[in-house]
Each structure stands twice: as structure tokens, then as C-alpha cells.
């Protein structure tokens, strides 16, 4: 390596020598910290982190990817190192941000923008997903030891990155092949080893703060660490506090306002106007799409009628009909404006207070130490203790409330015997007799409703109906949208390591051992407030006028309760404004309750390991390691009765999870130097490892790995690895109690509203735009798509069941990599390293938890008619879906294939007589294949292709460019995400608002070429995305100061149609796009 003007490293060698021994797996790192992410192929540069130094002064280290000590910093396995210092210079200190932006992290990454969704680890969690194979298949280590899952609700399955003290991290090692034979189950996609700082001596203080240009979202991190060396040991500790204020939808220009229709026309332009409702209904949506409508009531005959205090176009008291008999956008007063504009009742755009990123506060503490006793065994007891806690305050926006009100409820507007009710049949007839409606109807059909009746064509009048049940549809302030979460994790590690001089017999030498134990306890608490459905329905069903006090109302309490409050679901206060409230505080106090969850996860690990030399060959020492591990995992996730029984209205039941399992493992590893220092064979080394895993519920299984490193010349390393992995179902997949609830799904087998005759309500096949595949698949699965109907409402609420099972099979996988690393030896003036790795991971019997809509779509939209999921859909005699079984299932095969590329360049230069160092590091990932294959009962394959879709761009990468002068450094970082698009089968056909060409699709924004415009389809794609960051740092001997900008050009995330891509107000989340905007950051560090 060339000499460098690189900044001085602040560390005590003696501290580092002792600190590294704390972990059975330390790491290899170049002193050249300018290269912040690199594929480690063969690094022979001296490092501060050493395991042991023998009498000849040869240092021995352990590299992530192997448990063997060796005297070179080399890794046969594909290994990427992300330096925390370099990440800071790019404006990132948060662990989840750093790991999720790595090129190896593909798929949808769960971060804080998902806090409004039901997650495996619960609200507020962040996880890492390597190769897009799922967070449950990525093993996270902290200082080389397994990090236990943490979270709340249900059954957490993965390590929560928010519990890692980010400012105390030194580096992140990413092992990118299947590593079960080395680290045990869960390491299917790879391993993330988070290595904390342990090389400080004295006191270190650090401040890292960010300030977005747009409102809120600032982060502040304070950390303080202290370490002290002794003659034969050391002790150190550190504490970190992190705060981030919430970002609402209104705070970012790309989420402010409302969710829009985002469509692309055949002319290549983007269209967002709501032309459908403008042209067909005459309604002005001000550029917004249509969302969830409130302030209305579903009544007999008319359907939804909308709150219009003091007026009505029919006979309803303060409510108005919007459309009838294909007369969309009724204008009964003839003023040219529809009587009802849906936009005025739409929650879309009215919940700007909802959090895009929730408020978070974190506190972390760590302490560690060791002492080496005198003697030839160098017995060294060690300990490590850590505590981390995060708190989140989450506001998810507004939700609909739609309880069914019985016909005889005294407040029911369709109860003519009630306080404000009318006969809704007669009220409907008044609409048909409204002169404005009659004129509009006759202008469309040529006859009036009375003439249709009198001429015996069809009687459209309802007549007197008497009391009828209704469904008010409103939104109530504070209902089910506030969540407070606290998750804490305590971890204690202790053990003894030392040498085994008594093993120095014959060819045996340099044997050492380690005995260790760790205990981790994670506790999570979650609390939501919302409306109790049981109390709501009890009140609505039993409320009557008090016979002893006319004009007041009473109701019967629920069994076991002493009070009941009559609920008036038609009070003006519920309808004034899109988000309303109950008329009295007594109603709120009675209905609102908390939904609380306590989740505890316990993990206990005992391990024993020994390694040493068993023989010496001409090429070097044969090193062997053997070990055993006993792991006990326990979960106790306990809901209160509100959560367990699903007592919140329109909210799912969650039984939590209770269970435990024991895993016993034994493993061995051997590394054999076959050739060294020969012609065209500077090095030929093989590494073999095997592990036997005995799961309490799934018996035993072997995993193994073989690795080969071949160096024909010193500058070129060729290497290849092959390994198998084994993953038994985790505690969530085994013990998640039944989660049952109701979820709205879209059912393609029901006759759509567009295919129902406007007058008779019968099926008209000429108006049916469903594809032939859908019709055939529905019929093949016992549903007649020409008779099954729900009055045109194809979206409705269905019971969904989820849960774990001991009947699941274990997963197995094969992982293959091959690659090279080349360091140019030809020129002394610069350094250039090229690296490439091809990877191929294939999983059998993969465990998935499908969404109900995925199951429905896969069954009925499958062009081959051979979906494996149709058997999980249950229908009633009326043809409607009764239940969807969305429990965990084994589904056959997953494949991830691709290339990792790395280019590192450095060169000294002189500018105006001043010596500088120039360096660049480029890392890219190329996804070749990411597929899931399902087999139906007959063995027919159903393949889902993901490469090139959101989360799996065919190309993504990162470039880091630095200029060093004396103690100054300028850094420019560019992150690249390639263009992405939905899989072909999900791409809509170009169409217009009328579906003039009968494509089966309808545009929201375009009137169509046939009408003088263009045809359009939803945007389910995104162009290439570049994110740039810049910083300027000064590194003094005892202090550091840095200032920079993340997202220099304020690059906005792409905008997509929410019907196609998971997004928040058209902004895709979890796919690597920056949602904060241009952000300044400041970093100060001081050593005392």
C-alpha cells in the first residue's frame, strides 16, 4: 500500500489488543478508513484489532465468516465491511439507515415509515433484509454474538436495529453467503455482525445532529464513552441518547396534500387529475384521488346518502343522495354543480397530521471488561453488558367507523318512530318525485320514474318500508390512530477464554478455548386507544327511551359491567367536518378503551469452543476449531382482553404468542493450506465446516460448507464457496396464536357494478370487463362469476385467520458463490482493487405469511389457472368469501441470484504544491433472479418474478469519493437505484375513464384517445434514482468536526399510484428512496 496523508488513528494499541478478545468473532479492517464499504477478499495490512501475538510477533485474528484464528486478514467468504466513520461522512449514523442502504439489502426494508402497519416485530421496529429473502433469514450479531429478537405484539422474529447504539458502532461486517455451518440457523441469506467500539482510552464525547430543510424530522445523538487500561486488563463503558421528532404528511412536499391518481399516458406524460369523477359525476376533486368517504349513511334503496344539514334532495332529514340509475352526480337544483361532491367527504387529504415518520427516543448503555491472570494458560474472564430502550409515539391518521344500527334504535334516521327518523322508503320516493331529479332522469331515459311504473316497464318506487337498519359511516377523532410503544432489551455476556498449553503435543500447537454464556431479555409494551365494538353494538342494540323519564334514553350494560351509555350515531357532531366526534363526553368515556400488549422474549446461550493447529504442512498450519452451543428461546407475548378478543371495532384480534424451544448444536471447522509460494500457486487454501443442529421440534439436520481460495499470483485471488443452511420455524411461525380479524378485500368473482343494468340491476355480460382468465378461474373454483354479486360492491370485509403451527416444515437452502479480487501490481503511483462475486441462493420449503389479497389475486388472476392458494379461500352459499386462511405455509422454492462488484482506487497527488490523497470506492449489485415458485396440488409450478421490480432493481450501487489534505477531508457520496417496474402480470392496460376499448381496466385521469385525449394506465414504475451527499471534516489529534449535506440536490422520491405500489400519499416506502429531503448534519467529537 502507498503512503498516505490519511488522518491519524486515535487508539491505544494495548486497548485494542485486549478489546478484540471480548468477541469470538472479530474482524478485518483496513486502516484506510476512506474505503467505507469493501468486499474483503484478502487483506494483509496490519490492523489494530488483534486476537493474540505469539513469541515471534505474528498476530492472530478472527475474521467474520470463520471462527478460526489466523495470521492474515483474509476471508474466503464474500464479506463487505461498512465503516461507521465513512457512513457519518455520508450523513448517516443510524444503524437501520446504514444497513438498509447497503447494496446487499434488497427487497422491502422495514423502517419507521411502516409504523402504521402490522409488522412481525410490531410498531416502531426496523430490521434488515439481505438479498430480499426476509429479515427472519438474516442473522444479526452484536460483537460476534447472536442478537435476540425484540419487539411488541404478536411474536417478534428479528433483531430490532433501533436497539443498537449507533454512535458506538465501529463497523458493520456483512457476510453474504449462507453461513449456517458457522453461525447456526437463521443465517440463510447472510450475517450482519455489528461491532461496537472498544478501542477508546479516556473519555470520548460525540454529538451528531441533523436538520432537514423541510419542517421537523431532525435527529440528535449524544454519546459519552470511557475506557481505562490496566496492566493485564481493561474496562470500558458508553452511553448514547437519541431523539427524533415526528414528520407528518404535511411536513414533506411529496406527501403533503392528498393522495393522487398517478398515471402515464400513451404520449409519455404523467396525468394526475381525477377525470373520472370530473367527467362522469361533475365533481371537482382538486387533483386528489378518491379515498375513504365519511360523513354518510348507508340506507335501504338509496345506498350511501351524505350529510347536508338543513337540506335534502329526497326525504331524508339532513342527508342527500349523490347518484341513482346511472345518473352520476345528481344536480336536482339545476345550478350546474352536483348536489354532492365526494371530495368534501373524503378522508384523503384531511389527515395531514398523520405521521410519515413517528417520534422516537432511544437510550443505550454498554459496559465491558476483562482481566488476564498470570500463568501459561492466560486465563481471561470477560464480561459485556448492554441495555437499550426505544420509545415511539405514532399517529396513523384517521379511520372509518361503520357500525350497523338496528332498525328500532331510537336515533336511527330510518326509524320513523324515532326522534329524528323517517320512513326511508318514502324518503327515497321523494327523491324520485323531486322535479329536478325527474327532469334529469327523463332527459337520460326518455321517461319519468312514474311513467316507467305506470306503463308497466319497471316500478322504481320503494313505498313504505317501516323501520330499517342503517350503517352510518363516519370518522371519529382519536379512534384507533394513536399508539405508544416502548421496547427495551437487556443483554449480559460473560465467560472465560485462555490457552491450552497442555495440548502442545506432537503436531498439536497453539490451542485456545472459550467458554461463554449470554442472557438476553427483551420487553415490549404497546398501548392504543380506540372504540370498543362490543360496547358500541350493545348500546345500539339495547337503547330505548326511558319509560320513566320521557325524552331521555337508557341501555343495558354488557354482562359483567355496570354502566351503559346510549350512543347517538347520527348526532351532527359526528358529521360536521370529515373527522367528527360524539355529541357528549359521556359517549367517548364509555366507548373508548385502551388495547395493551406486553411482549417478552428471552434468549439464553451457552457455548464452548476450542481451536488450534493440528498439523503443519509445507504450505502452512492446518487449523481446526470445534465447538458446541445450547440455545433456549422463549416468548411470552400477552395481550389484554381487548386485544385478545378483538374488542376494538373493525380491528383484528391478536392472541399473542407463548412458547419456547431448545436448540442444540455442535460444529467443526478446518482450514488446510494446500499450496503456497509455488509457481502459479502463491496460495491454495480450502476451508471445510459442518454443523449438526438438533431442534426440539424438528429433529436433527446437518449443514456444511466448503470454501476454496486460489491465488495464482500475489495480486489475484480466485475463490468459491458452497454451503447448505437449515432453518427450523422460529417462535413466531410455531407459536403465534390465532390472529383473527376482518380485512377489506377486492373479490374479482363478484359481478362488478359496471356490469349491472342501471334500471333492472341484472347482469349484462356486454358490460363485463373482467378478463377471460378471471372468469374461468372463478368458475373452476366453484363460483359462477355471472351470478355471484353483492349489489356491485366487490370490496367487502372478510374474516382473515392467521397463526403459527408446529406442522410447518423446516427450510433448507443451498448457497454458492464464486468471485475474484485483483490488486494491480504494475504501477506504484496508484492503488486499484477490483472485486466481483457471483451468488446463488436457493431455498426449499420456504415459509411465507401471505396477505389475503395476495391469495385472492394469485388464485383468480393466475393466467395458468393453477394457483396453489385457492384451497385457502372459503365461500358461503351466497358466493361471497366467508374466510381467508392466511396462516404460515411452506411454499416450495425461492431463488436469489446476482453479482456484487467492487472497485477501490487511491492515489496521492499534488495541487499547488500541497500533497493530497484521492480515493474512490464503488460498490454495485446486479440482481439476476429473485423468484418464488409455488406448486399446486398437482405439482404445477406458479412462478412469481421480482427482479426489476420495486425493492429489486436490476442495478443498484454506491460511489464514495474523497480528497484528503493534511487533517482535512472532503467526501462526496452518490447512491444509485436503477429503474424498476411492476411485474408484467400486474401492469394495467392503457385505457380511459370509460374503458372504451374494453380492456378490463379503467383510467382515473384520462378521457381517452377516442374522446380527443390519450389513454392512460397507473404508474407502477420509477426511473433511475440518484442521491448525493457531501461533507467536510477536520480530524485533529483529540477532536473532530464535520459539516455536511445529505441529499444535496433535494432529490424527491418517485411518485407512484397507490393502487399499484405500497406507498404513503404516492411516495413508495421501504425501497431505499429518501423521504426526508435535503438535510444538513453536524458532527463533533472530542477525546479527553
Is residue 547 located within the same domain as residue 455? no
Percent of the chain whose predicted confidence (pLDDT) is above 90: 75
Distance, in Å, from the CA atom of 619 to the CA atom of 606, rounded to the nearest integer, reads 35
| Position 449 pLDDT exceeds 50 | yes
How many domains would you assign to the chain? 3
Predicted local confidence at residue 785, as pLDDT: 92
Is residue 312 located within the same domain as residue 458? yes
| Position 115 pLDDT exceeds 50 | yes
| Position 806 pLDDT exceeds 60 | yes
Q: Which of left, alpha, beta for 1000 (phi over 0: left; psi -120 to 50: alpha)?
A: left
Least confident of 283-287, 491-495, 932-936: 932-936
Range of the domain at 571: 527-593
How does residue 179 score in pLDDT terms, banded at 50, 70 and 90? Answer: confident
Q: 3-class DSSP state for residue 17?
A: helix
Predicted local confidence at residue 49, as pLDDT: 29
| Position 436 pLDDT exceeds 50 | yes
Predicted local confidence at residue 223, as pLDDT: 96
Q: Is residue 249 part of a domain?
A: no
Q: Is residue 700 part of a domain?
A: no
Is residue 310 located within the same domain as residue 446? yes
Is residue 763 located within the same domain as residue 863? yes
Is residue 452 located within the same domain as residue 589? no
How does residue 57 score in pLDDT terms, banded at 50, 70 and 90? Answer: very low
| Position 31 pLDDT exceeds 70 | no
User: pLDDT for 685-739, tens place per residue?
Assistant: 999 999 999 999 988 899 999 999 999 999 999 999 999 998 989 998 898 887 7
- What does the pLDDT average to over 1028-1050? 97
- Give the domain-ending residue among 593, 617, 648: 593
Identify the CA nearest to 469 among candidates 537, 528, 393: 537
Identify the CA nearest to 140 among candidates 491, 473, 461: 491
Identify the residue whose cell numbers are 406486553: 598
| Position 36 pLDDT exceeds 80 | no
Predicted local confidence at residue 74, as pLDDT: 58
Is residue 803 located within the same domain as residue 865? yes
Predicted local confidence at residue 62, as pLDDT: 63
| Position 23 pLDDT exceeds 80 | no
How does residue 220 score in pLDDT terms, banded at 50, 70 and 90? Answer: very high
**Cβ neighbour number for residue 1041 with a 10 Å cutoff:** 14
Q: Is residue 746 part of a domain?
A: yes
**Per the structure block, which three cell numbers stand in for 806?**
408446529
Q: Which residue has the higher pLDDT, 34 or 1058?
A: 1058
- What does the pLDDT average to over 607-632? 96
How does residue 181 score in pLDDT terms, banded at 50, 70 and 90? Answer: confident
Contact between 89 and 1042 under an 8 Å Cβ cutoff? The reply is yes
Is residue 310 located within the same domain as residue 423? yes
Q: Is residue 738 part of a domain?
A: yes
User: Which residues lie across from 820 on neighbouring strands?
Assistant: 718, 836
User: pLDDT for 320-356, tens place per residue?
Assistant: 999 999 898 999 999 999 999 999 999 999 999 999 9
Label the pairing between strands 1063-1064 and 1067-1068: antiparallel
* DSSP per-residue letters across 34-81: T--EEE-SEE-S--S--SEE-TT--EEEE-TT---EESSEE-SS-EEE
Is residue 466 located within the same domain as residue 318? yes
Predicted local confidence at residue 869, as pLDDT: 87
Half-sphere exposure (CA, 13 Å, Cβ side) for 615? 9
| Position 663 pLDDT exceeds 90 | yes
Q: What is the largest CA-CA distance in the chain?
A: 113
Predicted local confidence at residue 1, as pLDDT: 33
User: pLDDT for 463-503, tens place per residue?
Assistant: 999 999 999 999 999 999 999 999 999 999 999 999 999 99
Is residue 872 located within the same domain as residue 797? yes
Predicted local confidence at residue 1004, as pLDDT: 95
Q: CB within 8 A of 800, min separation 6: which ones? A: 652, 740, 741, 742, 743, 852, 883, 884, 886
Predicted local confidence at residue 28, as pLDDT: 32
Say if residue 969 is exposed, middle or buried (CB neighbours under 10 Å; 0-12, 13-18, 19+): buried
| Position 935 pLDDT exceeds 80 | no
Predicted local confidence at residue 50, as pLDDT: 30
How does residue 412 score in pLDDT terms, banded at 50, 70 and 90? Answer: very high
| Position 29 pLDDT exceeds 50 | no
Distance, in Å, from the CA atom of 484 to the CA atom of 595, rounded to the nearest integer, reads 11
Predicted local confidence at residue 183, as pLDDT: 86
Backbone angles phi, psi at 815, to 5 degrees: -130, 130
Is residue 461 located within the same domain as residue 586? no
Q: Is residue 503 part of a domain?
A: no
| Position 60 pLDDT exceeds 60 | no
Predicted local confidence at residue 959, as pLDDT: 96
**Cβ neighbour number for residue 435 with a 10 Å cutoff:** 10
The DSSP element (H or E) to which 639 belongs, if any, is strand 620-639
- What does the pLDDT average to over 762-786? 89
Identify the residue whose cell numbers are 489475484: 716
Distance, in Å, from the CA atom of 111 to the CA atom of 443, rounded to the nearest integer, reads 55
**Cβ neighbour number for residue 11 with a 10 Å cutoff:** 16
What average pLDDT does the chain have?
90
- What does the pLDDT average to over 207-220? 98
User: pLDDT for 195-208, tens place per residue?
Assistant: 998 877 899 999 99
Identify the CA nearest to 211 among candidates 1076, 1088, 1085: 1076
C-alpha pair distances (Å), 115 with each of 391, 765, 849, 1054: 12, 43, 19, 21
- What does the pLDDT average to over 796-821? 89
**Cβ neighbour number for residue 708 with a 10 Å cutoff:** 17
Q: Is residue 748 part of a domain?
A: yes
How does residue 70 score in pLDDT terms, banded at 50, 70 and 90? Answer: low
Distance, in Å, from the CA atom of 331 to the CA atom of 337, rounded to the nearest integer, reads 6
**Cβ neighbour number for residue 711 with a 10 Å cutoff:** 23
Least confident of 10-14, 108-112, 826-830, 885-889: 10-14
Angle at 312 between CA 307 and CA 317, to 5 degrees: 70
Predicted local confidence at residue 344, as pLDDT: 96
Predicted local confidence at residue 61, as pLDDT: 52
- Give the domain-ending residue among 553, 578, 593: 593
Contact between 259 and 1066 under an 8 Å Cβ cutoff? The reply is yes
Is residue 574 located within the same domain as residue 444? no
Contact between 879 and 920 under an 8 Å Cβ cutoff? The reply is no
**Per the structure block, which three cell numbers stand in for 508?**
498439536
Query: For the chain, what is the radius of gyration of the CA atoms?
Result: 33
Predicted local confidence at residue 1075, as pLDDT: 97
Least confident of 23-27, 156-160, 214-218, 397-401: 23-27
Question: DSSP strand E in 458-591: where?
Answer: 471-473, 482-499, 509-531, 544-545, 553-554
pTM of the complete model: 0.88
Half-sphere exposure (CA, 13 Å, Cβ side) for 331? 12
Distance, in Å, from the CA atom of 510 to the CA atom of 70, rounded to the nearest integer, reads 11
* DSSP per-residue letters across 514-545: EEEEEEEEEEEEEEEEEEBHHHHHHHHHH-EE
Q: Is residue 875 part of a domain?
A: yes
User: Which residues lie across from 707 on neighbouring strands?
Assistant: 687, 721
Is residue 317 located within the same domain as residue 413? yes
Identify the CA nearest to 671 among candidates 741, 735, 619, 609: 619
Label the pairing between strands 795-802 and 881-885: parallel
Least confident of 12-21, 83-92, 208-217, 551-560: 12-21
Q: Is residue 553 part of a domain?
A: yes
Predicted local confidence at residue 69, as pLDDT: 62
Predicted local confidence at residue 63, as pLDDT: 64
Amino acid at each position: 500500500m502507498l503512503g498516505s496523508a490519511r488522518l491519524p488513528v486515535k487508539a491505544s494499541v494495548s486497548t485494542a489488543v485486549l478489546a478484540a478478545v471480548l468477541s469470538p468473532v472479530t474482524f478485518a479492517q483496513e486502516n484506510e478508513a476512506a474505503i467505507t464499504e469493501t468486499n474483503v477478499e484478502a487483506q494483509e495490512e496490519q490492523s489494530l484489532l488483534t486476537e493474540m501475538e505469539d513469541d515471534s510477533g505474528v498476530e492472530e485474528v478472527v475474521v467474520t465468516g470463520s471462527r478460526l484464528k489466523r495470521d492474515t486478514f483474509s476471508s474466503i467468504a464474500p464479506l463487505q465491511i461498512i465503516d461507521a466513520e465513512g457512513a457519518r461522512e455520508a450523513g448517516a449514523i443510524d444503524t437501520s439507515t446504514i444497513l438498509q442502504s447497503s447494496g446487499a439489502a434488497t427487497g422491502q426494508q422495514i423502517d419507521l415509515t411502516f409504523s402504521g402497519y402490522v409488522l412481525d416485530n410490531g410498531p416502531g421496529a426496523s430490521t434488515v433484509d439481505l438479498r430480499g429473502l426476509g429479515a427472519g433469514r438474516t442473522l444479526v450479531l452484536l460483537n460476534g454474538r447472536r442478537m435476540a429478537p425484540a419487539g411488541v405484539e404478536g411474536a417478534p422474529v428479528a433483531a430490532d436495529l433501533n436497539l443498537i447504539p449507533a454512535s458506538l458502532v465501529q463497523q458493520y461486517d456483512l457476510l453474504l453467503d449462507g453461513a449456517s455451518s458457522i453461525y447456526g440457523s437463521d443465517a440463510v441469506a447472510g450475517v450482519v455482525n455489528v461491532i461496537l467500539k472498544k478501542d477508546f482510552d479516556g473519555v470520548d464525547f460525540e454529538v451528531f445532529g441533523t436538520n432537514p430543510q423541510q419542517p421537523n424530522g431532525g435527529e440528535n445523538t449524544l454519546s459519552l464513552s470511557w475506557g481505562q487500561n490496566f496492566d493485564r486488563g481493561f474496562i470500558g463503558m458508553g452511553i448514547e441518547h437519541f431523539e427524533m421528532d415526528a414528520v407528518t404528511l404535511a411536513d414533506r412536499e411529496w406527501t403533503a396534500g392528498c393522495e393522487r391518481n398517478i398515471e402515464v399516458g400513451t404520449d409519455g406524460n404523467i396525468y394526475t387529475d381525477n377525470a373520472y369523477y370530473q367527467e362522469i359525476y361533475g365533481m371537482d376533486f382538486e387533483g386528489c384521488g378518491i379515498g375513504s368517504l365519511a360523513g354518510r349513511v348507508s340506507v335501504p334503496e338509496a345506498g350511501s346518502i351524505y350529510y347536508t344539514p338543513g337540506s335534502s334532495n329526497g326525504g331524508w332529514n339532513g342527508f342527500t343522495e349523490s347518484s341513482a340509475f346511472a345518473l352520476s352526480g345528481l344536480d336536482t337544483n339545476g345550478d350546474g354543480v352536483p348536489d354532492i361532491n365526494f371530495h368534501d367527504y373524503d378522508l384523503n387529504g384531511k389527515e395531514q397530521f398523520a405521521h410519515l415518520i413517528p417520534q422516537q427516543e432511544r437510550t443505550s448503555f454498554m459496559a465491558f471488561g476483562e482481566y488476564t491472570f498470570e500463568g501459561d494458560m492466560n486465563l481471561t474472564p470477560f464480561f459485556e453488558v448492554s441495555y437499550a430502550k426505544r420509545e415511539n409515539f405514532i399517529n396513523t391518521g384517521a379511520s372509518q367507523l361503520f357500525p350497523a344500527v338496528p332498525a328500532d334504535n331510537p336515533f336511527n334516521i330510518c326509524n320513523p318512530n324515532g326522534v329524528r327518523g323517517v320512513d326511508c322508503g318514502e324518503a327515497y320516493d321523494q327523491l324520485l318525485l323531486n322535479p329536478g331529479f325527474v327532469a334529469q332522469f327523463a332527459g337520460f331515459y326518455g321517461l319519468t320514474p312514474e311513467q316507467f311504473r305506470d306503463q308497466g316497464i319497471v316500478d322504481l318506487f320503494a313505498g313504505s318500508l317501516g323501520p330499517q337498519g342503517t350503517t352510518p359511516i363516519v370518522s371519529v377523532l382519536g379512534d384507533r390512530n394513536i399508539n405508544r410503544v416502548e421496547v427495551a432489551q437487556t443483554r449480559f455476556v460473560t465467560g472465560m477464554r485462555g490457552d491450552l498449553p497442555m495440548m502442545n503435543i506432537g503436531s498439536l500447537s497453539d490451542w485456545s478455548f472459550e467458554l461463554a454464556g449470554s442472557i438476553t431479555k427483551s420487553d415490549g409494551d404497546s398501548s392504543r386507544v380506540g372504540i370498543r365494538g362490543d360496547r358500541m353494538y350493545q348500546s345500539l342494540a339495547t337503547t330505548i327511551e326511558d319509560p320513566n323519564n320521557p325524552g331521555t334514553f337508557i341501555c343495558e350494560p354488557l354482562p359483567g359491567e355496570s354502566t351503559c351509555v346510549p350512543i347517538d350515531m347520527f348526532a351532527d357532531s359526528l358529521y360536521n367536518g370529515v373527522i367528527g366526534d360524539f355529541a357528549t363526553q359521556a359517549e367517548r368515556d364509555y366507548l373508548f378503551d385502551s388495547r395493551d400488549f406486553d411482549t417478552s422474549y428471552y434468549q439464553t446461550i451457552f457455548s464452548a469452543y476450542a481451536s488450534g493447529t493440528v498439523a503443519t504442512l509445507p504450505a502452512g498450519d492446518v487449523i481446526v476449531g470445534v465447538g458446541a452451543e445450547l440455545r433456549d428461546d422463549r416468548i411470552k407475548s400477552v395481550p389484554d382482553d381487548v386485544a385478545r378478543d378483538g374488542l376494538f371495532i373493525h380491528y383484528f384480534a391478536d392472541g399473542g404468542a407463548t412458547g419456547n424451544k431448545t436448540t442444540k448444536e455442535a460444529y467443526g471447522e478446518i482450514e488446510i493450506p494446500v499450496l503456497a509460494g509455488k509457481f502459479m500457486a502463491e496460495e491454495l487454501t480450502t476451508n471445510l465446516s459442518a454443523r449438526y443442529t438438533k431442534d426440539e421440534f424438528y429433529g436433527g439436520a446437518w449443514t456444511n460448507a466448503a470454501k476454496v481460495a486460489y491465488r495464482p499470483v500475489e495480486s489475484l485471488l480466485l475463490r468459491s464457496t458452497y454451503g447448505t443452511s437449515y432453518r427450523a420455524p422460529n417462535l413466531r411461525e410455531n407459536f403465534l396464536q390465532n390472529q383473527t380479524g376482518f380485512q377489506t378485500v377486492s373479490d374479482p368473482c363478484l359481478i362488478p357494478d359496471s356490469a349491472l343494468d342501471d334500471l333492472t340491476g341484472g347482469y349484462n355480460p356486454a358490460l363485463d370487463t373482467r378478463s377471460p382468465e378471471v372468469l374461468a378461474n372463478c368458475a373452476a373454483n366453484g363460483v359462477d362469476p355471472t351470478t355471484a354479486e353483492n349489489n356491485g360492491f366487490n370490496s367487502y370485509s372478510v374474516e382473515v385467520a392467521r397463526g403459527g403451527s408446529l406442522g410447518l416444515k423446516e427450510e433448507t437452502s443451498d448457497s454458492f458463490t464464486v468471485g475474484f479480487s485483483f490488486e494491480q501490481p504494475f504501477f506504484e503511483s496508484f492503488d486499484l482493487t477490483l472485486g466481483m462475486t457471483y451468488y446463488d441462493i436457493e431455498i426449499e420449503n420456504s415459509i411465507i405469511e401471505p396477505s389475503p389479497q395476495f391469495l385472492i389475486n394469485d388464485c383468480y388472476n393466475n393466467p395458468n389457472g393453477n394457483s396453489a392458494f385457492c384451497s385457502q379461500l372459503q365461500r358461503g352459499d351466497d358466493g361471497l368469501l366467508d374466510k381467508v386462511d392466511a396462516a404460515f405455509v411452506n411454499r416450495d422454492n425461492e431463488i436469489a441470484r446476482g453479482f456484487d462488484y467492487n472497485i477501490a482506487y487511491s492515489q496521492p497527488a499534488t495541487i499547488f504544491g500541497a500533497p493530497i490523497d484521492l480515493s474512490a470506492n464503488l460498490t454495485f449489485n446486479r440482481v439476476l433472479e429473485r423468484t418464488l415458485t409455488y406448486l399446486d396440488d398437482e405439482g404445477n409450478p406458479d412462478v412469481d418474478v421480482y427482479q426489476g421490480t420495486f425493492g429489486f432493481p436490476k442495478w443498484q450501487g454506491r460511489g464514495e469519493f474523497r480528497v484528503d489534505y493534511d487533517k482535512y477531508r472532503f467526501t462526496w457520496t452518490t447512491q444509485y437505484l436503477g429503474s424498476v417496474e411492476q411485474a408484467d402480470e400486474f401492469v394495467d392496460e392503457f385505457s380511459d375513464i370509460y374503458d372504451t376499448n374494453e380492456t378490463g381496466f379503467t383510467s382515473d385521469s384520462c378521457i381517452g384517445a377516442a374522446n380527443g385525449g390519450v389513454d392512460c394506465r397507473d404508474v407502477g414504475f420509477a426511473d433511475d434514482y440518484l442521491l448525493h451527499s457531501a461533507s467536510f471534516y477536520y480530524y485533529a489529534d483529540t477532536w473532530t468536526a464535520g459539516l455536511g449535506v445529505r441529499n444535496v440536490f433535494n432529490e424527491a422520491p418517485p411518485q407512484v399510484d397507490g393502487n399499484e405500489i405500497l406507498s404513503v400519499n404516492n411516495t413508495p416506502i421501504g425501497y431505499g428512496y429518501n423521504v426526508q429531503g435535503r438535510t444538513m448534519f453536524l458532527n463533533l467529537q472530542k477525546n479527553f
